[in-house]
Structure formats: structure tokens, C-alpha cells
Structure 1
């Protein structure tokens, strides 16, 4: 694909989406001897479904990124560069929306997948569930980042545009594995559990949140791929906890109340158009 997609009426509708198709998996990372900077330390973890020891073990399961100066690293960076074609277009604007992963708002990314409008009724239990999933998934990803350091695309090239405001410190922060991809994937799994009839569509949105980080230039494709794998692994352990199962039942009652309003997200057509764009 050459050049940026044109900004259209669909793009404006995507911008209006607080949350929100076929997908191609990113390449898998390979072992590397890259060392993390000595100043980096493990982040604290508390308040999720999983014990600290489980989060640490999950973080330790993440393979190292591509070796510096390797052919795989060069190919990953070249693929990342091809995503520049989306700057300013429909998929870029959707990626901007996907950058919002706070528990209170992130459920709205799944409006179209679940044929619901999560802003139409209170969902405190679902928000609490997402908050715990976020803590576990992001905690594992951030801990994994302390083991090795891979710079972000926007860090390697300071002139590269990001679809959200990024500080100098943010550009210089670690890229592997993608924390947003980890969280997005775990959210997708949680939504699939919440509404099994729309499980495939929910998981696809979780995947597209990971793709959005590559579109944004915040992560390389391999960073996002590793984050997705980690997010699914985190959720698999979350799903086995009695606390999650109890919260899930309460969240299902909220989903029923949301659907009872009869409202749907008016931006779904724009989302479908953005996701239909071919990726590099």
C-alpha cells in the first residue's frame, strides 16, 4: 500500500468512536541476548485476580526479542515502516481510539463486536472486572520489559508520528512486549467469556487493539505479537480463579441490561470500513 488513506466521512465517524475482518498474525520473536538497562526495576503488582508469583512466572515465560542487528530484527523494522502509510487515515484514527484502555471506557471498543452500546447503562461490575484484568495483564507485560530492552519505533525514529501524544520519556521507554497488546488481548478473552455467542468477534477486536499499536508506531509487529500471546496466557490463569467467575456472572447481568436499552454504537459502519483496509 502506498501513501496515506484519505480522511473520509468514515474517518470522522471512527474518531467519534470511544471504542471501537480477517487478521494476519504477526511474526513470532526469537531468542536474544539483549540486556535490560541496569536502572530498570520490576513494577509493583497488586489488585488483580492473580498472585504476584503467578504474574512473575507469566512474565518470565516471554521469549527475548529479536537479536539486535539480526535479519529478523531488520525485517520487523521494515514491516513497521510500511505501517506509516496509514498515518492520518481511517485505520490511524481507529488506532487513536484503541489507545484508550482504561477499564471505565475500554468496554466500548467491543460495542460493535457484541452488538451492544456499553455507555447506555451502568456497568460497575464489568468495569471492576476489567480493572483486575488490566492489573494482571499490564503487570506481566511491564515486568517482562524489565528483562530486556527493545526501543520503540517512535524512539528509534524521533520524527515518526504517533497517533497519541507521547512524551520524550514515553518515546524512550521499552517496547517489548507490548503492554497495550497484552491488555487488549486479555480484554478480548474476557469479552469472549462474557458473551460466548460473539466470542470470535470479541477476540478479533482484542487482536485489532494490538494491530493498532503497530499502526501508531508505538510497537513493532513482534512486540504486539508477543503481547497477544502473553495476554492470552494471563487470561487463561485469570479464568481459573473463582473470583473471576463470580465477577463474570455479575457482568453478564449488566450486559443484559445494556442490551435491554436497544441502543447500538452509531460508529460501527466506520469501524468495519477501517478494519477492512488491507494491512502491509
Structure 2
């Protein structure tokens, strides 16, 4: 395992302005306010339908639940590794800062570009995915790994109240998946890379001890469903085209993220 220096570089260079220690960006109070009439692309009834399609969390003590907990405990081996430190950066999910997680996959430097249309597109998708995930969480509670085990170290600052919040589905994975699908649509030639980073952002929640594998899988499925629904909304294609033009301009500037080498090292860390 490489030392923490490269991991710190990954955190600092990938999110130079990001408060990576911020508690999870999924905010229940914001989602509750948004659910009846969201600021995103989808109305409340569509978001409710998407949430209703998500199956309930695994039953406590079931084979799936026990397998989740056994796998989760294995991620303790990554504490303080380069992959652990990258996961602290991935904890930031709010646009525009979170969009920099995709710099290396896209070969751009979004942190230095003016991209108001891209930011607006992703914010609206964030609002939709955030609201849908919170509706599912309100339907059936499952504790987080750091809630089940008071001694479990999260890779971000989490209050005692935060440890007791619902784990299923992973709202972070929902948001990451919707970003991944959006970037895949913006740059089809880099779709695989964009989706890979979105998935790695979900895996970061396992590294952090904030979610179980089933939580992440459900979140990713929900995020992809949210994107599919949002992409059919009136005005979405125009927003996508405007964002694509900004992304092309950012690429034409020729700047890349200096943390990409460190990110490659962190993502090469074998997972348990």
C-alpha cells in the first residue's frame, strides 16, 4: 500500500475548493421540502413513483443482510489508505464542486471553467435524485455501518445524529449514478469512463463505512431510473445541449486536473 502522501494529493488536487470533511450531502430536510414540488426536472408524483419502485431494504438477520455486514467489515482494511482519502473527497456531492470528480474521466478541468449551464443541469438532477432517495429512506429504516458499530471510523466528519440516519438506499450513490449518466450523455465517447467514476463514488461509501453494498446497489439503480425519467422531461434536451457546449469549451482550454495521477494510484488499490 502506498503512503498517505499520494492520497492527500488526490484529495487536494481533485477538490481544491471542496470541504471534503462535510457530512453527507444528502440532506433530509431539503429532500422533504422538495418532494411535493421539486426544483428539478420531475414533479412530485413522478419522483414518488420512482421511489415506490425501489424494493425495501434487506431484512435484519437475513442472508443478504449478514453478507452485507460481513463485506462491510472487510473495508476496514482500507482505513487511511489512498483509496480511503479519495473517498473523503467523494463525500462532497453538491454541484459544482462534485463535478470535479469527473475531471480525470473526461480529460478536462471543470474547476477552472465557467460552466453555469452544466452546473444548473446537474443541480436539477441532484434535486430529483436527492428527493427520490429520501422518500425511500422514509419508508423503511436501515442503520448505517457506522450506526450499527459505534467504533467504526467514517472517512468524513459525522455527528452522532448523522450516524443514526438511514442507510438504504445510498443517496450518495443515487446522485453519483445520475451524474454518471448525464456525463455519459454529454460525452458518449467517454461514457464508460464517466460511469466508472460514478460507480467508484458509490464504492467510496463502502470504504467510508457509511453504507452497505445493498444500499449502494439500490442507490445506483435508482439514480439511473431518475436520469432516464429526467431526460424525457420538457426542456431537458436544450439544457443538455447548452451544458455540452460548455464542456467542449472547457476541453478546448486544454487544462487538466493535476491530481489525475494520484487518482489512478488510489483507484488501483485492490478492494477487499
| TM-score normalised per structure 1 | 0.88
Q: Which has the higher helix share?
A: 2
Q: Which residue of 2 aligns with 1:245?
A: 237
The 1-side partners of 2:82 and 2:39 are apart by: 36
Q: Secondary structure at 1:146's aligned position in 2?
A: helix
Q: Which residue of 2 aligns with 1:106?
A: 98
From 7, 10, 13, give the equivalent of 1:14.
10
Structure 2, gaps ≥5 residues long:
17-28
Q: Secondary structure at 1:59's aligned position in 2?
A: helix
Given the alignment of the two structures, is residue 136 of structure 1 paired with residue 144 of structure 2, yes or no? no
From 180, 198, 203, give the equivalent of 2:195.
203
Q: Which residue of 2 aligns with 1:31?
A: none
Q: Secondary structure at 1:247's aligned position in 2?
A: helix
1:19–1:111 contact (8 Å) kept in structure 2: no
Q: How does 1:196-235 map to 2 (within 5 A)?
A: 196-235=188-227
Q: Which residue of 1 aligns with 2:33?
A: 44
Q: Which residue of 2 aligns with 1:73?
A: 65
2:4–2:80 contact (8 Å) kept in structure 1: no
Shift of 1:8: 3.8
Shift of 1:19: 4.9
Q: Which residue of 1 aligns with 2:21?
A: none
1:18–1:105 contact (8 Å) kept in structure 2: no
Displacement over 6 Å in runs of 4+: none
Alignment RMSD (CA, Å): 1.5
Structure 1, gaps ≥5 residues long:
21-39
Q: How many residues align?
A: 256
Shift of 1:82: 0.2
Given the alignment of the two structures, is residue 269 of structure 1 paired with residue 261 of structure 2, yes or no? yes
Given the alignment of the two structures, is residue 154 of structure 1 paired with residue 150 of structure 2, yes or no? no
Q: Deviations over 1:39-84 (max 9, x none)?
A: x9x8232200001100000001111111111122111101000001
1:113–1:201 contact (8 Å) kept in structure 2: yes
1:120–1:261 contact (8 Å) kept in structure 2: no
Shift of 1:240: 1.1
Shift of 1:17: 3.3
The 2-side partners of 1:101 and 1:66 are apart by: 26
1:19–1:107 contact (8 Å) kept in structure 2: no
| TM-score normalised per structure 2 | 0.91
The 2-side partners of 1:83 and 1:14 are apart by: 20
